[in-house]
Amino acid sequence: MADGVIVKSKVKDVAGDCNVASDFIGALDAKVAGLIKEACERAKANNRRTVMAKDL
């Protein structure tokens, strides 16, 4: 997943003792990308070009 937002090694670090399946990484990447797009739309709706925490 070269174009993904999520870094698999970082997810594994956070998961600790849990194994991380490859399909989890893909699903998590899609979820995060969706959150980013929604946050951008909210920022635009508020006449801003800067995405902020409150946009989540």
pLDDT tens per residue across span 1-56: 457 899 999 999 999 999 999 899 999 999 999 999 999 999 999 999 999 999 99
- Phi, psi angles (nearest 5°) of residue 47: 55, 40
pLDDT tens per residue across span 13-25: 999 999 999 899 9
Report the chain's terminal Cα–Cα distance, integer Å: 24
Tokens 């951008």 belong to which residue?
40
